[in-house]
């Protein structure tokens, strides 16, 4: 496997017909401009005065100046190099010199707009064929805006290719080691259970029971050990939605290491939505939320802060790990790579991405 095959080469590296997460909803205020490069394309997103989003190429059709360096005028955006003004549909509606001379702005004075949607607390953009931009393709995750969950949210920028981050998110094997001092609670031996990995529509599903999972400080029950259940879908292009529940010891066996039954009430449960957005070939933005059920902790914000701090510690462990891996890979030693069981998720997901890229080509 060429671990970051596209890096520095001209091969098509990205799926285009998919929704990429561009921001958390609250990262884009009313009447402010938000700029992000996604799969090497500069993208401008802003809210119109009615609060609706619009997304377009962040590149004036005249001299390629970022429109985000300009200013909003009502629902329009004006490039502050030569004053071209674009409406929210990307059409140039004013060229100062043409205005003066009474000329019409030609039809080809426009920047491409992109389908944009707000869902699950995320802003999603579609950079591929707009006719295919079906909002039903947005992964059905749960976001921090869900009142049943007490979630925090953030993002981290990686100096790494998105494929390496996807790999990391589509395997559970690294938790016992990379996250030994955070998620694994110092107990690596609790995490050797192999998860079930299966292909689903536009992604993979990973489920696992870890028996003998040590009690966390924030848990209600005073039992020493629990059976931890994790299940998540990881969906193209890189959206993770994971449920975790700590069940009374014996829970795993009670449901035959399958899906917990509806009678089984977790001692504590958490949900996380995460997403990887390739910015350039060597940089990516990683969005994440994390939190317990509202019913559990709405009166214990301190506990939630503690869980959030733990999650952030783990996210930084991932970032440091993957950025280090990227640097080592860039030495291009040509050494072979062996495969282990933990690679089922990454391999399955990469094959899916490869297939989609090939089909789009």
Question: Binding residues for its own copies, per CB under 8 A?
Answer: 3, 37, 40-42, 57-59, 61-66, 69-70, 78-84, 95-101, 106, 108-109, 111-112, 167, 171, 173-174, 176-178, 180, 188, 191-194, 280, 321, 324-325, 328-329, 331, 333, 335-342
Number of H helices, E strands in the chain: 7, 18
> Toward its own copies, which CB reaches closer, 35 or 294?
35
Q: CB–CB of 180/186 below 8 Å?
A: yes
In the complex, the smallest distance separating the C-beta of residue 304 from its own copies, rounded to whole angstroms, is 28
In the complex, the smallest distance separating the C-beta of residue 296 from its own copies, rounded to whole angstroms, is 32
How distant is the alpha carbon of residue 3 from its chain centre?
20
Tokens coding 222: 């005073």
In the complex, the smallest distance separating the C-beta of residue 267 from its own copies, rounded to whole angstroms, is 25
**Beta strands of 186-315 (E only): which ranges?**
196-200, 203-214, 225-235, 239-248, 268-280, 283-292
> Toward its own copies, which CB reaches closer, 65 or 294?
65
> Toward its own copies, which CB reaches closer, 63 or 298?
63
> Toward its own copies, which CB reaches closer, 99 or 351?
99
> Toward its own copies, which CB reaches closer, 107 or 299?
107
> Toward its own copies, which CB reaches closer, 178 or 272?
178
Taking the C-alpha atoms of residue 4 and residue 25, their distance in angstroms, rounded to an integer, is: 31
Taking the C-alpha atoms of residue 328 and residue 330, their distance in angstroms, rounded to an integer, is: 5
In the complex, the smallest distance separating the C-beta of residue 204 from its own copies, rounded to whole angstroms, is 17
Tokens coding 206: 């990973």
Signed CA dihedral, 164, 170, 173, 178: sign only: positive
In the complex, the smallest distance separating the C-beta of residue 141 from its own copies, rounded to whole angstroms, is 26
Q: CB–CB of 278/161 below 8 Å?
A: yes
Going by C-beta distance under 8 Å and a sequence separation of 6 or more, which residues neighbour residue 361? 12
Number of neighbours of residue 190 by Cβ within 10 angstroms: 19
Hey, is 131 helix, strand or coil?
A: helix
> Toward its own copies, which CB reaches closer, 90 or 143?
90
In the complex, the smallest distance separating the C-beta of residue 200 from its own copies, rounded to whole angstroms, is 22
Q: CB–CB of 170/234 below 8 Å?
A: yes
In the complex, the smallest distance separating the C-beta of residue 353 from its own copies, rounded to whole angstroms, is 17
Tokens coding 145: 């805006």
């Amino acid at each position: 496997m060429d671990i970051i095959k596209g890096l520095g080469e001209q091969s098509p590296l990205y799926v285009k017909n998919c929704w990429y997460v561009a921001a958390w909803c609250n990262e884009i205020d009313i009447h402010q401009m938000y700029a992000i490069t996604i799969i090497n394309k500069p993208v401008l997103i802003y809210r119109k005065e009615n609060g609706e989003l619009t997304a377009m190429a962040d590149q004036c059709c005249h001299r390629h100046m970022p429109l985000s360096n300009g200013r909003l005028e009502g629902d329009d955006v004006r490039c502050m190099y030569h004053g071209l003004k674009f409406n929210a549909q990307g059409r140039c509606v004013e060229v100062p010199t043409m205005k003066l001379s009474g000329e019409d702005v030609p039809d080809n004075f426009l920047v491409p707009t992109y389908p944009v949607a707000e869902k699950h607390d995320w802003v999603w953009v579609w950079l591929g064929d707009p006719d295919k931009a079906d909002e039903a393709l947005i992964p059905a995750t749960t976001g921090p805006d869900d009142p049943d969950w007490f979630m925090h949210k953030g993002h981290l920028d990686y100096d790494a290719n998105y494929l390496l981050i996807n790999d990391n998110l589509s395997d559970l094997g690294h938790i016992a080691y990379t996250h030994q001092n955070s998620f694994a609670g110092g107990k690596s031996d609790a995490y050797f259970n192999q998860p079930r990995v299966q292909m689903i529509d536009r992604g993979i599903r990973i489920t696992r029971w870890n028996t003998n999972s040590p009690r966390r400080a924030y848990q209600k029950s005073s039992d020493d050990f629990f059976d931890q259940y994790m299940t998540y879908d990881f969906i193209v292009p890189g959206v993770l939605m994971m449920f975790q529940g700590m069940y009374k010891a014996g829970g795993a066996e009670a449901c035959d290491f399958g899906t917990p039954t509806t009678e089984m009430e977790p001692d504590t449960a958490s949900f996380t939505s995460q997403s990887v957005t390739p910015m350039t070939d060597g940089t990516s933005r990683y969005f994440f939320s994390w939190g317990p059920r509202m019913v559990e902790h709405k009166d214990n914000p301190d506990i939630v802060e503690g869980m959030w701090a733990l999650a952030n510690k783990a996210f930084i462990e991932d970032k440091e790990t993957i950025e280090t891996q990227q640097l080592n890979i860039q030495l291009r030693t040509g050494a072979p790579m062996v495969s282990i069981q933990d690679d089922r998720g990454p391999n399955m997901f990469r094959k899916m991405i490869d297939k989609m890229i090939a089909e789009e080509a």
